[in-house]
Chains A and B, each alone.
Chain A
Amino acid sequence: SQELEQSPQSLIVQEGKNLTINCTSSKTLYGLYWYKQKYGEGLIFLMMLQKGGEEKSHEKITAKLDEKKQQSSLHITASQPSHAGIYLCGADGKIHDKIIFGKGTRLHILP
């Protein structure tokens, strides 16, 4: 079965600093999703990547999928307190039936 490994597990950065979260798959990714979860709440969809080499941006968040479609990174530029939360990557199966999630990266932003 497919497994997703996220790194780091936890991240503490000073406000204004850049940061990167990685997501590595044991198998080829057919669809890679990034979600953000605030503690005790639901998940907010950030981005979906499907093609090798694809890169998408939304405000100060950029996500990339490598050419081999086995690794994705999420980069936040000039972090703000509103970026704090848990970032989860999720992978689509070949038949797009369900998403398997990584264990998440807990991001804390220091003022």
Chain B
Amino acid sequence: GAVVSQHPSRVICKSGTSVKIECRSLDFQATTMFWYRQFPKKSLMLMATSNEGSKATYEQGVEKDKFLINHASLTLSTLTVTSAHPEDSSFYICSARTGFQPQHFGDGTRLSIL
């Protein structure tokens, strides 16, 4: 089946630093990639949708300058949390799809800001 790799799986860093999370579709070309955030015992909250070669579409309430998304190729999207603070600590999950096929998810990144 389709495989999506997300890296790193866990990040712990100091407040004020920027953190980059990578999402790769390993065996298919992803026309669209999605970034979600999940709080403890809560459902997935869509942050943004990105299409290869174009600017990401952010959901209402998500700061574009805070969460930078780059979808440079059909197999790679990155999420950079800039100047991270403790309130940015969360579980971030990416997914990828091609056309009308189901989304396939990465294993998530647990971000902890000290």
Interface residues of A (CB under 8 A from B): 31, 33, 35, 40-45, 48, 88, 90, 92, 96-104
Contacts and interface: CB of A to CB of B under 8 A. Distances in A.
10 contacts: A31-B100, A35-B105, A41-B107, A42-B4, A42-B93, A43-B93, A45-B102, A88-B44, A97-B49, A101-B44
Contacts of B91: 40
B106 A42 contact: yes
Interface of B: 1, 4, 6, 32, 34, 42-44, 46, 49, 91, 93, 95, 100, 102-108, 110
A22 to B, nearest CB: 15
Given A40-B91, A40-B108, A40-B110, A101 B43 contact: yes
Q: Is the interface of A mostly helix, strand, loop or mixed?
A: strand
B105 to A, nearest CB: 4
B108 A104 contact: no
A45 B104 CA distance: 7
B107 A42 contact: yes
A42 B6 contact: yes
A88 B42 CA distance: 11
Given A40-B108, A43-B93, A97 B32 contact: yes
Given A40-B108, A42-B108, 9 more contacts: A35-B105, A42-B6, A42-B107, A43-B95, A45-B103, A45-B105, A97-B49, A101-B43, A103-B42
B66 to A, nearest CB: 20
Nearest to A104: B43
Contacts of A92: 100
Contacts of B103: 33, 45, 90, 99
A45 B44 CA distance: 14
B105 A98 contact: no
Contacts of A40: 91, 108, 110
Nearest to A97: B49
